[in-house]
Every structure is written in structure tokens, then in C-alpha cells.
Amino acid sequence: MPAARSGAAERTRGTNRPVGRGLRGPRRPGAVQTVHTWQDAGVGISYTHHMAADPAWRRLYPFASHSLVRDGVAQHYVDEGQGRPVLLVHGNPTWSFYWRNLIEPLRCRYRMVAVDHVGCGLSDKPQAYDYTLARHIDNLVALVDHLDLRAATLVAHDWGGAIGLGAALARPTRFRSLVLFNTGAFPPPYIPWRIRACRLPWLGSWCVRRWNLFARAALHMAVARPERMTADVRAGLLAPYDTWEHRVAIDRFVRDIPASPQHGTWRVLEQIERGLPQLEQRPCLLIWGMRDWCFRPVCLERLMAAFPSAEVHRLAHASHYVVEDAHEEIVPILERFLADRSNAGDASPDGDALKTQGVGP
């Protein structure tokens, strides 16, 4: 793995030790408080965190953790296996835990890199931070460069589609193929009322950050097979979002959904949509949970228009958390798609197409 770029440092820990800084917060009854030390550029940094000793959800997520530190903020990711890189980019309110059922079976043949956006998962959760689409794209581009990913397959869901495609447009020579689940890469044609309610002044943030309403509601509203949401799975999806402070990015993601062209993120989404034809020649796989009330079939149709040669799988029995609902069906589809790409050439367009348009750094 290449050394970190100037101004950045990498932190790494062992597989079964809990990550700390992304879960830092006040001690709770029944929690075990532990002090760990990272080595950042040769300087020990101590911090404390609380996490139940050996939480059951960790057995569902048996991956070594890494962090890229930029400007004092650590962005967590997992990097499992060897081979052609597969970059997995989550949305809101999930984190890299969402990809566990793809990482586990595919890491024997591919390098599976799953990122946690700043504010999400096991990444740091600064309170005064620019939680915008443009900043998340910038962070992902920095990670792609740091890891020197080449001929990568982008796998993205929800907000991860706009973030991942923004990164692919900023670094087109690093991406070879695309896999998109229930996402969008254009200004939203609608905002569902369940999300609009979470954007109400004062009350929306209170519900999202005080009661964790957005993440908790998703455990029921985003799945078509509620039996999949076992206690351990629920605990894993919610684990990083255990305090008011740790839910800051969930709230900010909701508020970054643009309702009009006057919103800065609307313009970023327009730039991404205009750039999609530059990715059109890349093999593209669209897998859609058709019972999704958020990213409805109209979003799939717009992506099909942008990628007319895409292979499309409509999963009638799956909802927004499509990988939770249908990972047994998805894995063989993805294995075949990746195998076909491994047997093909490495051709990709030259040039960092949208650097001059403000997408990416």
C-alpha cells in the first residue's frame, strides 16, 4: 500500500479490537470503557471510547479497520482481500457494515474496499464540518488516490451513488466498471414525505439526533423482509450512531438533499448528471429493489437512460436496503459481472474530466 500523501496519515488496527475515535462519547451503564493508542506519523494519540465488550454484531463484521487522516479527521475503511479492487460506497444512514454480505464471499478473489464517510460508521464525527456532497466526493477521491486504486469497480448505494460517481468523474482512469443499487446521480425529482418530515426546522434535527428516528425507522421502512433485521443486524447498523454527537452526519445528509436549484448540492448533482455520458462506455450493472419508496423506479429509469447498455436486475421482493433483503441473489450476479470484467481489457478514457467543473478536488 502506498504511503499517505502529504498532510495525511494512516491508522491501522487489528481485526478484533474495537475502533475507538469514531465511537467516542460519554460512558454508558454496562459499557466497557477502554483506552487505545493510535500511532499517527510516529506520535501516539490517546483517546477513549465506549463499546460493549465483544458486541455480537462484531462477529458479523470480522474485518480489519484502517483510517486515512486528513486535516486531523480520520476516515475509516476496510480493505480486505487481493485482486482487482472493488470500492463499496454506502449511503445514509448506513455505513460499511451494510456491505458485509458482499465483502465476505468476494474477498477471496477481489480487493474489497468499503469506506465510511466522515461522520458515519467508524470514521470521526466532527461537529463543525462541511458535511456536503462536494466534501464527501473530495474525501473519496483522496482515499482512491491514497490507495492507488486502478481498474476499480465502483459499487454504490443511496447517497453513495452520487458520491461514488462524482469520484469516478473526477478520476475516470481509475474506474473500470459500475454497480449501482437504488441510488441517484441527478437533482431529486421528488423528496418523500418521510424524509421531508426529518427536514422540519428544529423538530427534524431533534428527532434525528435525539431519538435516532431516521436510522431506527429505516430498520423497518427500508426492508421488505423484516425477518432479516435480527437483533445483531439492527445493533450493527445502529452501533456508530449512539449519541446526539454521533448522529450529526445523518442529520446533515438529510439536510443536504436539495429542494431547489438555489441549494449548492443541486448544482453539484447537475454537474454529475451532465458528466455521466463520459462513463457510458464502462460496463454497468443496475440492481434495484423495486419495493423502495425512496428511490422509486423513476430513478432506475433515469440511470438506464444514462447507461443504455447497462445490465439491469429488478428485484421485486427487495426494498431500499436491497443488499439486506437479497444478498443471496445479488452475490452470484455480482460474481459473474466481476468475472466478465476480469476477462476483458483495461481500456478506460483518459483525463480527469470534471476537475475543471468543480466535481472532486
Q: Tell me whether residue 320 is one of the annotated catalytic residues.
A: yes
Give residue 9's pLDDT. 57
Least confident of 3-7, 89-93, 129-133: 3-7
Cα 284 to Cα 311: distance, rounded to the nearest angstrom: 6
Give residue 343's pLDDT. 65
pTM: 0.85
Which of 138, 251, 292, 325 is catalytic? The answer is 292
Position 82: which residue type? Q
Which of 158, 251, 256, 325 is catalytic? The answer is 158
Give residue 197's pLDDT. 86
Give residue 39's pLDDT. 32
Cα 228 to Cα 329: distance, rounded to the nearest angstrom: 14
Cα 177 to Cα 337: distance, rounded to the nearest angstrom: 9
Which of 50, 76, 246, 320 is catalytic? The answer is 320
Mean pLDDT of 247-253: 98
Whether the pLDDT of residue 132 is over 90: the answer is yes
Q: Pseudo-torsion of CA 211, 118, 234, 258, nearest 10°? A: 60
For 139-197, how does the pLDDT look when each residue is reduced to its tens digit (9 = 90+)?
A: 999 999 999 999 999 999 999 999 999 999 999 999 999 999 999 999 999 998 889 88
Which helix (H) or strand (E) segment holds residue 157: the answer is: strand 152-158
Q: Are 331 and 106 in contact (CB under 8 A)?
A: yes
Q: Are 110 and 268 in contact (CB under 8 A)?
A: no
Cα 102 to Cα 104: distance, rounded to the nearest angstrom: 6
% of residues, the chain, pLDDT over 90:
75
Least confident of 9-13, 242-246, 295-299, 351-355: 351-355
Give residue 6's pLDDT. 37
Whether the pLDDT of residue 358 is over 80: the answer is no
- Dihedral sign for Cα 319, 320, 326, 332, please: positive
Mean pLDDT of 10-20: 41
* DSSP characters over 14-31: -TTSPP-GGG-----TTP
Q: Which of 153, 286, 173 lies closest to 164, judged by CA? A: 153
Sheet holding 111-115, edge to edge: 8-12, 65-70, 73-80, 111-115, 85-89, 152-158, 175-183, 284-289, 311-315
Mean pLDDT of 51-62: 80
Q: Tell me whether residue 292 is one of the annotated catalytic residues.
A: yes
For 62-112, how does the pLDDT look when each residue is reduced to its tens digit (9 = 90+)?
A: 999 999 999 999 999 999 999 999 999 999 999 999 999 999 999 999 999
Q: Are 236 and 63 in contact (CB under 8 A)?
A: no
Task: Say which CATH superfamily domain 56-346 falls into.
Answer: Alpha/Beta hydrolase fold, catalytic domain (3.40.50.1820)
Give residue 10's pLDDT. 55
Q: Pseudo-torsion of CA 199, 142, 124, 268, nearest 10°? A: -10
Q: Tell me whether residue 158 is one of the annotated catalytic residues.
A: yes
Cα 229 to Cα 322: distance, rounded to the nearest angstrom: 12
Residue 11 pLDDT grade (very low, low, confident, very high; cuts 50, 70, 90): low
Cα 312 to Cα 333: distance, rounded to the nearest angstrom: 10
Give residue 55's pLDDT. 86
Q: Examine residue 226 and say whether the peptide bond preceding it is cis (omega within 30 degrees of 0).
A: no
- 353 against 249, higher pLDDT: 249
